[in-house]
Structure 1
Amino acid sequence: MQLRGQVYKPVVELEARPVQGLACTRGEQSGQRWWGLYEQLCGTPENFFRNCFVWNICPLAFFHASGRNITPAELKGPAKTRIQQVCNEYLKTALDLFNPVIVVSVGRYTEDRVKALVKQNVLDPNRVQLSCMPHPSPRSLNNTNWLEKARQWLVDHGVMPYLQS
């Protein structure tokens, strides 16, 4: 995506997962699948972002002491409740700012968070088309041939015209 800039390290850094910022060479399969699809469809980031934006429902990273990733769905108790409250407010801010006509949740966790905003009357499903696209994670069930399934999903849900200039 041709990103540049400086990434600052946290005060306390997990030894098993050092923060390397944009110099990190470690691949992340979900992101590679996701951005690989849109690179094929749009060519450049500028073409993608002409009509679309991506909003990570929880832009925080959580790790076990071993360095294993902990997803927001795996959090428990008051920590999970508080993170969801903060992330819901964060998403509400984005929706107010961008005023989208389509909201595509990527995966069931995100779909559940969007549904929570509908229940709170923050998001009107009569004004915004709501859909849930399969998550690109290799850990997701029934996720073989994600790229082909995702392309077809974009066609079936009327998203493809927003991706083509």
Structure 2
Amino acid sequence: MLDRNANARVRAQLDAAEKLRDAVDSLRFAAPVVRVYDPLDYAWNAFAAYVERYGANPKRVLFLGMNPGPWGMAQTGVPFGEVAAVRDWMRIDATTGRPADEHPRYPVEGLSCRRSEVSGQRLWGLFRERFGTAEAFFAEHLVVNYCPLLFIAASPRRKGGEGARNLTPDKLPAAERRALYAACDAHLRAVTKALAPRFLVGIGTFASARAREALADEKVELVRILHPSPASPLSNRDWPGTATRQLVDAGVW
């Protein structure tokens, strides 16, 4: 049973997520974007379970990611939500739906998905290695995403057929970014107010830059760590060791 303050923190986060969901779902994105997935729509039950279980207490550290990966949050509703970490370590077993307009190359299968989100595997693997249990990690930490949307862009294939690729929010046209970022900034401020972290850790350059702009007037220490994406050569050379050193040097750990 949550106390009154814990209930208020959870409600504030869920209210902020609902407002973000409604705001971004009203936006439209031009080519090359061909599909937009919003896990706050079809995977709301899983996202809400994550917040209710692990977001009730104040946090000393808030980790901020960019947006859902196709085999992570897009499947599970949890930020950086690599399936095994969500199912086995966090023990979140909520059912998820599917996007209304699903792309054949990016099917949503929920916890049945056999693909692994490498970034999430690395991130949650580091936390599991350092803290042991999910409860120990979430006692002072939480992970959130800046943008809730997965953008799928057209990618013509040499032999024909409908190819596709993951498109990150920073690659959108400026006008589309402005409307999207306004909604995401408001959400980040609301979550920060609810959880009152001392540190906000941007996972990668994009998240760090957005946090710096959105939280310019907030009393929170901003820290940046290397993104765990396998697309980064540096991340493929001992990402856990690099991220840990960055967090220790910044006084987060």
TM bracket (short chain): 0.7 to 0.9
Distance 1:47 1:118 in 2: 27
Does 1:131 pair with 2:223?
yes
Q: Which runs of 5 or more structure 1 residues have no equivalent in the other structure?
A: 161-165
From the two aligned structures, give the one with the greater strand fraction: 2
If the length of structure 2 is used for normalisation, what is the TM-score? 0.58
**CA positional deviation for 1:82:** 1.5
Distance 1:106 1:46 in 2: 21
Distance 1:81 1:22 in 2: 33
Distance 1:75 1:19 in 2: 23
Matches within 5 A, 1:135-154: 135-140=227-232, 142-143=234-235, 144-154=237-247
Distance 1:31 1:21 in 2: 15
Aligned length: 155
**CA positional deviation for 1:15:** 1.4
Distance 1:114 1:77 in 2: 18
Distance 1:82 1:141 in 2: 32
- Give deviations 1:88-126, integer Å, cap 9, x for gaps: 11111101111111111111101111111244x3x2xxx
1:57 equivalent among 130, 146, 153: 146
Quote the residue 1:112 is aligned against. 209
**CA positional deviation for 1:141:** 5.2
Q: Say which SS state the counterpart of residue 55 (structure 1) adopts.
A: strand
Quote the residue 2:248 is aligned against. 155
Q: Say which SS state the counterpart of residue 145 (structure 2) adopts.
A: coil
Q: Say which SS state the counterpart of residue 202 (structure 2) adopts.
A: strand
**CA positional deviation for 1:42:** 0.8
Does 1:21 pair with 2:102?
no
73-82 vs 50-59, greater mean Cα deviation? 73-82
Q: Say which SS state the counterpart of residue 137 (structure 2) adopts.
A: helix
Letter in 2 for 1:76: P
2:183 equivalent among 86, 99, 115: 86
Residues 147 and 184 in structure 2, CA contact (< 8 A), matched pair in contact too = yes
Distance 1:150 1:75 in 2: 28
Q: Say which SS state the counterpart of residue 200 (structure 2) adopts.
A: strand
- Give deviations 1:32-75, integer Å, cap 9, x for gaps: 11000000001111111000111111122111232311111222
Letter in 1 for 2:143: V
Does 1:5 pair with 2:94?
yes
If the length of structure 1 is used for normalisation, what is the TM-score? 0.87
Quote the residue 2:168 is aligned against. 71
Distance 1:71 1:7 in 2: 23
Cα RMSD of the aligned pairs, angstroms, is 1.5
